[in-house]
Amino acid sequence: MEANSSNQEWDLEIKPHDTVFNLHLRDVWNYRDLLWLLVRRDFVSFYKQTILGPVWFFIQPIFTTIVFTFVFGNLAKISTNGAPQPLFYMAGIVSWSYFADCLTKTSTVFRDNSAIFGKVYFPRLIMPLSIVFSNLIKFAVQFILFIILMVYYLIQGNNIEPNWYILLFPVIMLLMAILGLGLGLIITALTTKYRDLAFVVTFGIQLAMYATPVIYPLSYLQEKYRIIIALNPMCGLIETFRYGFLGTGQFYPGAFIYSIIASLTIFIIGLVVFNKVEKNFVDTI
């Protein structure tokens, strides 16, 4: 009996401290059904009791594009490297808002879900992941809008040349997702104790758009500013996205490789920090 009990195999061991890199990814995999159900929940609850339903996904990029075209294109007369202005802005808006949504929504994930996290265990990472996937649906809808607009300009015979760099599109999406997620995870982990960061995010994300080539091309900047802006990992991603689809401007290999490295690094840091905080955040939030 004694020997029997000491040789028992345990399925789970709960300890005060775990190794930093034990990310419980197997757990996350076991809960994959929950991930899809949460994505579904977000999508369904978004348009329940609305008349227009998923059409609302279109309205934001359309109106933003119109306003940007008017303000930045017609009033400020910022160059678009020869691309049609609405298309140029929409490319920026659609991809930027995917990143921004991933970041802002994941950055409050502990606070928004403290009620449910405090009552039941499931791998916490499921929640931010579901946000990333929910936003991907929204992005897909908006992306269709962008493609329609692009096809329209192609038929019109405008100066746009989609090229092979378009194949980098899935990579760009993945990088934007993990960059937004990684930053969001770091911020939500820090805001469990110090709420200050949450305030920074809400207006910071708006300002960050201007530090990213969304409404202007990178080539429009003077050389000395270009380096500074290129330090923003989103810069290489948006530039490459636009170059692939519109063929205007140019591809910056250095900026793109830098974006890959920066995104991966931030993502891994985010995972580790989140994983460390998730175990006890219930006590402090």
Please measure the distance between the N-terminal and C-terminal CA atoms of the chain and give it in whole angstroms. Answer: 44
Name the residue type at position 31: Y
Residue 16, number of CB atoms within 10 A of its CB: 6
Residue 15, burial from CB neighbour count under 10 angstroms (0-12, 13-18, 19+)? exposed
Question: Are 180 and 264 within 8 A, CB to CB?
Answer: no
**Shorter beta-carbon distance to another protein: residue 226 or 279:** 279
Distances 218 to 53, 153, 162, 284 between C-alpha atoms, Å: 36, 23, 19, 43
Q: Which of 3, 7, 22, 48 binds another protein (CB under 8 A)?
A: 48
Distance of CA 285 to the CA centre of its chain: 25
Q: Which of 29, 41, 59, 265 binds another protein (CB under 8 A)?
A: 41
Q: Which of 13, 21, 75, 77 binds another protein (CB under 8 A)?
A: 13
**By the rule CB under 8 A, 282 interacts with another protein:** yes
**Shorter beta-carbon distance to another protein: residue 117 or 252:** 117
**By the rule CB under 8 A, 283 interacts with another protein:** yes
Stretch that binds another protein, among 42-50, 169-177, 221-229, 267-275 (CB under 8 A): 42-50
Residue the block writes with tokens 């949450």: 198
**By the rule CB under 8 A, 202 interacts with another protein:** no
Mark residues 102-121: x for contact with another protein by CB under 8 A, - for none: -------------xxxxxxx
**Number of residues in contact with another protein, rule: CB under 8 A?**
38
**Shorter beta-carbon distance to another protein: residue 15 or 77:** 15
Question: Are 165 and 87 within 8 A, CB to CB?
Answer: no
**Shorter beta-carbon distance to another protein: residue 122 or 153:** 122
Measured CA to CA, the distance from residue 28 to residue 42 in angstroms comes to 19
Q: Given the rule CB under 8 A, which residues bind another protein?
A: 1, 5, 8-16, 31, 33-34, 36-38, 40-41, 44-45, 48-49, 115-122, 193-194, 279-280, 282-284
